[in-house]
Amino acid sequence: MSWRISIILYLLIISACKHEKANDFKKVEVTYLIEANELKGIAQQPNIKIIDFRKKEIYENEHIVGALNIWRTNIEDTSYPYSGIMASKTQIESLFGQLGITTDDTIIVYDDNGLCEASRLWWILQNYDFKNIKLLHGGISEWKSNNGQVTTQIPKVNTAVFKLTKHPKMQYYVSKEQVSDALNSNVVILNTRTSEEFSGKRQKKGATKAGRIPNSIHIDWAETINYNGNKHLKSLKELEIIYSELNIKKNDSIIVYCHSGVRSAHTTFVLTQLLGYKHVKNYDGSWTEWSYFNDLPINGNNITLIKN
């Protein structure tokens, strides 16, 4: 009889652990995450606008029913001599208006890369004080695994009026000049690229030189998701452990950067929305911009390079 009780207790413990992990993000108030089952219940509502944040050819092959498509190039300001700078307020207003999105709509954005791309759009809209946005946890793969409908049909849209606030707070934004000033302060600078980029061994396309901003601490953004699995965010406990090893406090002033501000936007989301860090800003131009200026200091550019 005792072995049967032991088995039952074991199964109950396993079940409880699975339940705890499944509901992990319910322990904190995560305003900007939505699960696939929740989206299924509201996807057809007229004020819900779903955005597929992937390259056009991937979107055209398969996407969530009713989803609109944008990519990085749609939300960039191309007036700079380097790529990746966030689109202006008027550019975002025009883009969303053409997509038939109104200011009163709620935007659900997804990708297939662990919310990395989706986080960049979240970050831009946060800076412009637009809060009606949620990221689909698990992306299109999670949607499909929950029997969500996909299609190749491109939705027809009617243009709309989308207006942002006149004087946005730029809550999570930091400029090149502000990063430069921070080098002589107690601000923590997080580099969220790969270790090869951080060391200066790899120079990605778009950068004029390899290396890193002085005093940078390295943390690869992909450590926060199950990168080689379902690309879900790791549990809160795992995320806490990852960042506790960096010896930074939740009240520290933190500047995050990567190659072009996309991966670091994801890190900004994780730190502020999941882990409760209070003073985090993402360097928009990131390494692409920093490397462009010869008068800005860099470290780690004196080793054999791999360019791609």
pLDDT tens per residue across span 6-63: 444 444 444 444 434 444 666 566 799 999 999 999 999 999 999 999 999 999 999 9
pLDDT tens per residue across span 282-307: 999 999 999 999 999 999 865 545 67
pLDDT tens per residue across span 168-209: 999 999 999 999 999 999 999 999 999 999 999 999 999 999
Q: Does domain 173-307 have CATH number 3.40.250.10?
A: yes
For 91, 121, 171, 252, 280, the CA distances from 127, given in Å and listed in that order, are 14, 10, 5, 20, 12
Spell out the domain ranges in the chain.
Answer: 25-151, 173-307
**pTM higher than 0.75 for the full model?**
yes
Instruction: State the architecture of 25-151 in CATH terms.
Output: 3-Layer(aba) Sandwich (3.40)
Report the pLDDT averaged over residues 238-258: 97
For position 19, what pLDDT does the model report? 39
Do 211 and 299 form a contact (C-beta atoms < 8 A)? yes
For position 30, what pLDDT does the model report? 77
Any residues with CB less than 8 A from the CB of 202 and at least 6 apart, and which? 194, 196, 210, 305, 306, 307, 308
| Tally of CA atoms within 13 A in the half-sphere of 264 that contains its CB | 28
User: Are 25-151 and 173-307 in the same CATH fold?
Assistant: yes
pLDDT tens per residue across span 64-98: 999 999 999 999 999 999 999 999 999 999 999 99
Q: Which structure tokens are listed for 64?
A: 């969530």
For position 52, what pLDDT does the model report? 98
For position 300, what pLDDT does the model report? 83
**Under DSSP, is residue 40 helix (H, G, I), strand (E, B) or coil?**
helix
Stated as kind and residue range, the H or E segment containing 202 is strand 202-203
For position 13, what pLDDT does the model report? 43
For position 54, what pLDDT does the model report? 98
Average pLDDT, the chain: 91
The one-character DSSP state at 233 is B
**CA-based nearest residue to 209, from 302, 291, 307:** 291
